[in-house]
Amino acid sequence: MIWSREITTFDWWEVELTFRVTGRGRIGADGLGFWFTSAKGLEGPVYGSSDQWIGLGVFFDSFDNDNKHNNPYIMAMTNDGTKNFDHQNDGSTQQLAGCLRDFRNKPFPVKAKIEYYQNTLTVLFHNGMSNNDKDYEMCVRSENVVLPKNGFFGVSAATGGLADDHDVLKFVTHSLRSPEMALVPDGLDAEETQKFNKEFDAYQEKLKEQKATWAKDHPDEAKKNEDYDSMDGFFEDDSTRELKQIFQGQSAMNEVIRDLHRKMDEIIGRQERSLSQLTAIQNSGGAVAAGGAKPSGGGGAPVDTIRRDEVNAVLANQREMVSAARDIKNFVTDIHGKVGTIQQTQNRQPTATVQQVGGQGLPADLQNSIQEMKDGINTVKRDLSNTAARIEKTKCPDVSSSGCVSSTLFIVLMGVQLVVLIAYMMYRDGKEAQAKKFY
């Protein structure tokens, strides 16, 4: 960390901070902090400085502690000396305002302008993608911010398990005054100011008289050079005049564009404040409806507003859900129609007729099953006939003495086996028919 030695002697100020944050990994830690506090900070857990400070902290956070994928993030936070920084939520419940900006591993140094004027805090951010000093964009604008009247400026940084290099290249502080106060130099009283103004006016009058005298003494040169300016006292050729006009036109265009950017930033800031207020009103209304009483006090935690890209993502997800639901509905309707067709077909078919056995009007899979049963029965009959012929040729010894099975008992056993086989095949076909109803 580094802190200013002397305390400030002005009420309003602006700081230009130029720095680099570089690291080898895709993500870094922990971040860098800008401070304006009533007392110098000590080494501590808040980006290298102590907690429970009194004043302002602008944090450039590069590590995602709350796992919401919203880092690197820039935020501003004030503290009256009683708050502990919420590391688990990256301070999102305590911030004045913030913006999602990537400031790591940029080709050019990253810049930030932090302005505090008439209790309004403004943070402008330059993302380091170009070397143009005009490429600033609005990041934070918060009104009714009360800071200590005098304080110390400081910068601190810290790293954790992941490490980054935090290099502060430039830290410039300016005091701000109103236009009326800026016209009055410090340390001069009214008499000295009036004396200097009189001397300046006398010098201007003397210069005008000398220019007029030169024009009278040299009328030919004054007429030849129409570009001579009796007030400015210089000559310019056509190319110089053309370049001057081009430069003046570009300067005017640049001023207009800067004014438009400034107005656009103000409009965006007002829009964000309006959305925040509307969101707060909606949340307070929901709390009243749920709890039956309006929460007291107006110093609640700031509410994060929804951005346009988030709205588009929600709408796209809704469209995908509607399309998936429509496909599921069509699929269920198709299944329902097929099941109805199968049930109607089964209701029209006779349950026990000679035609069903013969295979007339039955489905192909059921006809194949019946044909397999017929082939199996014919095979069993053929085996029984061959077995009976062999039994007749073979003389069986005495049943009581040798335990040989008689022909009658053998035929009964084979008949039981045949019945069990037919019952199993019918049971299997019935299961297959029931399973087909679900397709």
Sign of CA dihedral 382, 388, 392, 393: positive
- Indicate the burial class of 19 (C-beta count within 10 angstroms; 0-12, 13-18, 19 or more): buried
Phi-psi category of residue 330: left, alpha or beta, with phi > 0 → left and psi -120 to 50 → alpha: alpha
Q: Examine the domain organization and report whether 311 and 432 are in the same domain.
A: no
Q: Is residue 77 part of a domain?
A: yes
Average pLDDT, the chain: 78
Residue 225 lies in a domain: no
Task: Tell me which of 182, 206, 222 is where a domain ends.
Answer: 182
Counting the structural domains of the chain, the total is 3
Q: Each residue of 52-111: pLDDT tens digit?
A: 999 999 999 988 888 888 889 999 999 999 999 988 888 888 899 999 998 998 888 999
- How do residues 353-408 score in pLDDT, each as one tens digit? 444 444 455 566 667 767 777 776 777 677 767 776 766 665 555 545 545 666 77
| Residue-number span of the structural domain to which 65 is assigned | 2-182
Domain shared by 156 and 8, yes or no: yes
- Per-residue confidence (pLDDT) for residue 232, from 0 to 100: 47
pLDDT, mean of residues 253-259: 83
CB neighbour list of residue 134: distance below 8 Å, 6 or more residues apart: 258
Contact yes or no for 52/80 (Cβ under 8 A): no
Could you tell me the sign of the dihedral formed by the alpha carbons of 402, 407, 411, 412, in that order?
Answer: negative
Q: Are 43 and 143 within one domain?
A: yes
Within-domain flag for 235: no
Q: Is the pLDDT of residue 336 over 80?
A: no
Query: Can you tell me which residue has the tokens 């929804």?
Result: 306
Judge contact between 153 and 136, C-beta under 8 A: no
Q: How far apart are CA 126 and CA 115, in angstroms?
A: 14
Confidence bin at 36 (pLDDT 50/70/90): very high
Tokens representing 87? 């590391």
- In terms of Cα–Cα distance, which of 412, 414, 394 is closest to 404? 394
| Angle CA 161–163–164, to nearest 5 | 155
Domain boundary among 182, 210, 244: 182
Question: Could you tell me which residues are beta bridge partners of residue 100?
Answer: 73
Check which CATH number belongs to the domain holding 109 and give it: 2.60.120.200
pLDDT tier at 182 (50, 70, 90 boundaries)? low
Is 231 or 32 the better-scoring residue by pLDDT?
32
d(CA 228, CA 215): 10
- 150 and 18 within one domain: yes
Inside any domain, residue 103: yes
User: Are 25 and 165 within one domain?
Assistant: yes
Residues 7 and 117 in one domain: yes
Q: Are residues 331 and 380 in the same domain?
A: no
Per-residue confidence band for 184, with pLDDT thresholds at 50, 70 and 90? low
Same domain, 339 and 416: no
Is there a single domain that holds both residue 343 and residue 377? no
Cis peptide before 72 (omega within 30 of 0): yes
CA–CA dist 385, 361 (Å, integer):
34
Q: Please tell me the pTM assigned to this model.
A: 0.45
Tokens of 364: 């192909």
Q: By the 8 A CB rule, do 33 and 59 touch?
A: yes
Residues 7 and 104 in one domain: yes
Question: Which of the two residues, 91 and 220, has the higher pLDDT score?
Answer: 91
Residues 369 and 314 in one domain: no
CB 367 within 8 A of CB 373: no
Q: What pLDDT is attached to residue 355?
A: 44
Q: Say which range, 10-19, 138-147, 358-367, 427-436, has the weakest mean pLDDT.
A: 358-367
Does residue 76 sit within a domain? yes
Tokens coding 61: 């956070």
- Ranking 4-13, 22-31, 176-185 by mean pLDDT, the lowest is 176-185
Q: How far apart are the first and last CA of the chain?
A: 71
Does residue 273 fall inside a structural domain?
no
Among 166, 182, 198, residue at a domain's last position: 182
167 domain residue, yes or no: yes
Please tell me the predicted confidence (pLDDT) of residue 435.
61
**Same-domain status, 319 and 421:** no
Residue pointed to by tokens 């109103």: 178
Q: Between 418 and 73, whose confidence is greater?
A: 73
CA-to-CA dists, residue 283 to 125, 177, 287, angstroms: 30, 39, 6
Q: Answer yes or no: is 388 within a domain.
A: yes
Better-predicted residue by pLDDT, 46 or 255: 46
